[in-house]
């Protein structure tokens, strides 16, 4: 639970070979207006290049489509409410 709290504060989780040999990954979750997680994105990269890609802006590059998706899904949610 402590690790999940850290991931929530950071806005992402990263692992090195946690999902497969030679692969590192960055994952981000997105929440609805009520704070419930409704989707996520994961970017998997060969471990050998992960640090370079991360330092070059992977977090920001991954965050943009997640935020865009959040906005789209919130609009859909608002449009589906009665009245």
What residue ranges define each of the domains in the chain, with the CATH number in brackets? 2-78 (3.30.450.40)
24: which 2 tokens? Answer: 């590192």
Between 46 and 1, the higher pLDDT residue: 46
| Secondary structure of residue 57 in the 3-state scheme | helix
User: Is-contact 30 37, C-beta < 8 A?
Assistant: yes
User: Is-contact 32 47, C-beta < 8 A?
Assistant: no
What percent of the chain is modeled with pLDDT above 70? 98
pLDDT for residue 83 is more than 70: no
68: which 2 tokens? Answer: 């865009």
- pTM given for the model: 0.67
User: Is-contact 41 67, C-beta < 8 A?
Assistant: no
């Amino acid at each position: 639970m402590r690790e999940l709290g850290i991931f929530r504060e950071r806005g992402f989780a990263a692992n090195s070979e946690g999902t497969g040999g030679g692969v590192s990954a960055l994952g981000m979750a997105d929440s609805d207006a009520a704070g419930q997680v409704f989707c996520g994105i994961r970017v998997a990269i060969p471990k050998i290049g992960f640090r370079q890609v991360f330092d070059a802006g992977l977090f920001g590059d991954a965050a943009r489509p997640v935020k865009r998706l959040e906005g789209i899904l919130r609009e859909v949610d608002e449009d589906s409410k009665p009245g």
